[in-house]
A and B are shown apart, each in its own frame.
Chain A
Amino acid sequence: MSKKVAYYGIFAALSVLMGYVEAMIPVPLPIPGIKLGLSNVIVLLALYVMGTKEAFFISVIRVFISALLFRGFLGFWYSVAGAFLSYGIMVLAKKSGKMSIIGVSVLGGIFHNLGQIVVACLIIGRTVVFYLVPVLMVSGVVTGFAIGIVAGYCTQYMQNRI
């Protein structure tokens, strides 16, 4: 039990930290919404190594803490939509058993972006932002793929240790 609590703490802290590290990496494209999604590595890891429920709580903690620390109120809604949509999709994708961690990560990346676009729409009150959908889908595939590979390597190490 106490071991589990410690892992919760480590994972939550890591995912918040990843969000911070990511904020320091400049994005070479002038398109809002494109980002690496480093903290998704941690959520994926939690999903594969710890379990569905655990990954959910770590997601919740991450969203709240990083909203409080870095993003503010509006940023919070973007985070919530992105995080939970991508979490839900990743759980389903993993449950289906048809794809590896890379496919799960790609889907998570895409739906993270889609969730944020929907919120952007609601906040701005216009559907203009939908023109970003194709761009963000492609960026979701690319970053999701990279993140999936990283998370895949990590799970290999973690699996025997938890």
Chain B
Amino acid sequence: MKKWDVIIVLAVLAVAGSLYFSGLLRADTPGGVAVVYVDGVEITRLSLLKDTEYRVETEHGYNVVKVEDGKAEIIDADCRDKICTKHKAISLKNESIICLPHKVVVEIEGGNENTVDAVVQ
């Protein structure tokens, strides 16, 4: 072991660490889309790349879908239980927020896979 061995190992670890934490190489495959369904019918598609708010009007009431920082959530609704507004923001493929009283579903299509759970095929 010479001095330079240690220097190289430390330098490479530093570079790898900074690359990793800088998020420069994040595999964010842009193009994740939040799809809004009402009663099973697709109403609109909101790109997760663009911050927007969308008001979904249904025959039972309204839900406001908000896209921010690549995540979608329902921030307001006039349903009775408001469960959908308490749901965490979603961003990974196939995640969904569901408002049962209004039959509103917000689902993510494309974009990053959910890496926590896996389905054995």
Contact = CB atoms under 8 A, between A and B. Distances in A.
Q: Sort chain B's interface into a size bin.
A: 10 to 19
A58 to B, nearest CB: 24
Contacts of B15: 137
B25 A133 contact: yes
Most chain B Cβ neighbours within 10 Å, of A134, A137, A145: A134
A98 interface: yes
B60 interface: no
Contact of A138 (B3, B8, B13): B13
B80 interface: no
Nearest to B19: A134
Contacts of B27: 128, 130-131
Given A128-B27, A131-B26, A134-B20, A103 B12 contact: no
Interface in B1-45: 1-5, 8-9, 12-13, 15-17, 19-20, 25-27, 29
Contact of A103 (B5, B17, B26): B5
| Chain A contact surface mostly | helix
Contacts of A102: 1, 5
B4 A106 contact: no
A133 B8 CA distance: 17
A123 interface: no
Interface extent on A, as a size class? 10 to 19
A141 B12 CA distance: 8
B77 to A, nearest CB: 36
Given A134-B19, A134-B20, A99 B25 contact: no
Please indicate which of the listed interface residues B8, B26, B29 has the most CB atoms of chain A within 10 Å of its own CB. B8
Interface of A: 98-100, 102-103, 106-107, 110, 128, 130-131, 133-135, 137-138, 140-141, 145
Interface of B: 1-5, 8-9, 12-13, 15-17, 19-20, 25-27, 29
Given A103-B2, A138-B16, 19 more contacts: A98-B3, A100-B2, A102-B1, A103-B8, A103-B9, A106-B5, A106-B8, A106-B9, A128-B29, A131-B27, A133-B16, A133-B19, A133-B25, A134-B16, A137-B12, A138-B12, A140-B12, A141-B13, A145-B9
